[in-house]
Structure 1
Amino acid sequence: MALLADKTAIITGGAQGIGLAIAELFVKEGARVVLGDLNLDAAEVAVKELGGPAVARAVRCDITKSSDVDSLIQTALDAFGALDIMVNNAGITCDATMRTMTEEQFDQVIDVHLKGTWNGTRKAAAVMREQKCGAIVNISSLSGKVGMVGQTNYSAAKAGIAGLSKAAAKELAHHGVRVNAIQPGLIRSAMTEAMPQKAWDQKMAEIPMQRAGKVHEVASVALFLASDLSSYMTGTVLEVTGGRFM
């Protein structure tokens, strides 16, 4: 039987990259998915690729706004009658050294990543605790473990997601709701491929497996954490990094 048969999942930032890879794998494993994304056009294209409205829906969602996240969750409940899995994946980067970073740049990244993940976690948990089951998967980053130059905002936010996930896991465990996080390292995507070659080469030199990861390699870990394969795991942070900074 498919690992997510008859399950309904919400994936924020699901229109492209890691989020879309997660959606594709979840649908393959029997789930119905709701993609929340600021880019509604891209999300609707993704829905068509996933198999149409029978298995997927698209919602424009700004995860920093509580009301948008409410609408996202209500769409899942109205369209598919359940919410079993929540993947808080949406995020942005706005890199600058601490000396040159503006307050606006700091606040924006913290707001999207940390407040957005908090919104998604608490709103999903409100539904899941009533049904006494559910899995929440939050996407952190290796930057939240080690800190990266030019990313005081991003590293702080991603470290915060790890702490948020552990705290939420403790609050929700007795309700049958599991909360885990993933810390991807260098994953090949449109965003990372726009990186200057010198920066790419430097990061590659830090990876024992000597290659960048692929989006489907993060998606498979999300599937593990969303499914009953990880039924006795909560509050964990799994690194998907090729051994970088182990």
Structure 2
Amino acid sequence: MRRPGLGPRPAIGSIRSWWGFLAGFALLCAVLLGTSALDSTGRWGLVILAAVLVTALTLERVQHRTSLQDSVRRLGFARPGGRALALAAAVSALVLLVFPLTAALSGAAPVPRTNWPWLLIGIFAFHGVAEELVWRGYAYRRLRAGRSFRAAVAWTMPLIAAAHIPIVVSLGPAVGVGAMLVAAVTAIPLSYLYETGHRSIWPPALVHTAIDTFKLVVIPAAALSSFSLLIILISLTVPLLALAVPRRVLTPTLARPRTVEELS
């Protein structure tokens, strides 16, 4: 049966639907990247989230004539599956091991910034919720309609990677290419957590936030090379562990036959 409160989800197939989808994605990226360019530390994360959310809700209303309640649910602000959320928390904890591992390898421990609690809220709002709203709540959700999980992820990957091109310009090719690679590869486990978490952005937002917690600390010069290598390796590999937990464990109801609407 169709989930309550959600109308039909049109698949992207015609040229017109592709142009509409890409225009919406470009607008959301422009708002996300434009507002974050003002300050990427996380201090203004709540403002960035507000701007992206208003834009996304407006797009849903204009493109699909949905109500506010419908739009909020479509964008992934739904109650997550408890098992997927617990898995996301476990993966996030493993990602955070990058800090003690850095200290052990380099002998110099990362130092928390004085305002790290406020930065954590901002990072969760910006990298966790706002980015997942765009990557999963809009892009992956729209591309998943009428496609398999693998096909939807494959179509999403280049879009997410392209959205990280400005990092190449601002921080250089080494950092930029690393960010693009991490964004593309993590599209697989984060989409998996989104889908098995009842199409909720909260599980992937948790892991996404953990990956970006490096903004909460100051990395000593002696630990910089070790940390740079570790954060890329851990971000590329640890989230993939989520795929080791079968769908039937995370979402037992998937064991029964599903309708086309539920699978979209």
Structure number having the greater helix percentage: 2
Q: Do Structure 1 and Structure 2 share a fold, with TM-score over 0.5?
A: no
TM bin, normalised by shorter chain, reads under 0.3
Give 1 or 2 for the bigger CA radius of gyration.
2
What TM-score, normalized to structure 2? 0.26
Determine which structure has greater relative contact order: mean sequence separation of CA pairs < 8 Å that are 6+ residues apart, divided by chain length. Answer: 2
Structure number having the greater strand percentage: 1
